[in-house]
Amino acid sequence: MPHADPSSSALARTTPALHQVRAGRRGAPLVVLIHAVALDLTYWDRQIGALAGSFDVIAYDLAGHGASPVPGQPFGFDDAAEDLARVLEAAGAGPACLVGLSVGGMIAQTLALARPDLVRALCLMDTVSTFAEAGREAVRGRAAQVRVGGMEAIVVPTLERWFTPGFAARRPDVLDRVAKTLRAADPDVHAAMWDMISTLDVAPRLTEIDRPTLVMVGEKDPTTPVAASEVIARGIPGARLEIIPDASHMAPLEAPEEVNRHLLGFLNGL
């Protein structure tokens, strides 16, 4: 996405009326939570609970997820960033701290580059800024897998990537909930999200992001690994990296206390 004139609406097509919840204190700094692929805003419940005492908190469903309408296709990062811009503008609370998990973090980076006027700070969790060609191929393969086999084809491998075996054994209820959400997801939307993810390449522009940034990653995340977070933390001037011990891709679900501790420390220090 190029640098945009903030008044321009030519960035992309937008999805009307994304579903959102708003909690916390109006007038306090705005924090916007952006969920991972196939999930929805309810997966931020532990973070909303931790943040609502001190912040104005919005969590929204990405287009085609949760209770938000299905977007037109093709749907790219420009579209997702424009959707987020609309959420922020409608909130009328000034620049926000964007907290994005995985694809949510990719969208947050995209918006920070396109509309820095809307962004106060970034917290990027279990995410990446680019892919090597093999990674891009794997991502395109996930889109193809869903198109052929539907959501059922990806449930087990997704759970295996997203959670450590120890957490899976301790909290089968959480995996069951995620499995139900995956099964209920729209396969066309899911495939389109992977197509979108396969195009991500903001790494060459990370140095342009001049907002306070916290990068967090599960120590055992196999898919958006620590090395990818190190690239982001090295690229964004002044960014801080926190590695969440014994957590995988879904660090905010596996280790909510640890994630919230870092998140609150970061936000309270802004």
User: What is the 8-class DSSP label of residue 198?
Assistant: T
Cβ proximity to ligand L4CXMVQC, 13 vs 161, nearer residue: 161
Q: How far apart are CA 142 and CA 245, in angstroms?
A: 27
Distance, in Å, from the CA atom of 242 to the CA atom of 226, rounded to the nearest integer, reads 10
**End-to-end distance of the chain based on CA atoms, in angstroms?**
27
Residue positions counted in the chain: 270
Which of 36, 63, 97, 98 is the binder for ligand L4CXMVQC (CB under 6 A)?
Answer: 36
Among 103, 146, 215, 251, binds ligand L4CXMVQC (CB under 6 A): 103
Of 161, 171, 177, 205, the one binding ligand L4CXMVQC by CB under 6 A:
161
The answer to whether 199 contacts ligand L4CXMVQC (rule: CB under 6 A) is no
By CB neighbour count within 10 A (0-12 exposed, 13-18 middle, 19+ buried), where does 4 fall? buried
Residues 225, 209: Cα–Cα separation, whole Å: 21
102 lies in the binding site for ligand L4CXMVQC (CB under 6 A): yes
Would you say 37 or 118 has its CB closer to ligand L4CXMVQC? 37
Smallest separation (angstroms) from ligand L4CXMVQC to the CB of 37: 3
Q: Does 37 bind ligand L4CXMVQC (CB under 6 A)?
A: yes
Q: How far is the C-alpha of 241 from the C-alpha of 65, rounded, in Å?
A: 29
Residues that bind ligand L4CXMVQC (CB under 6 A): 36-37, 102-103, 158, 161, 197, 223-224, 249
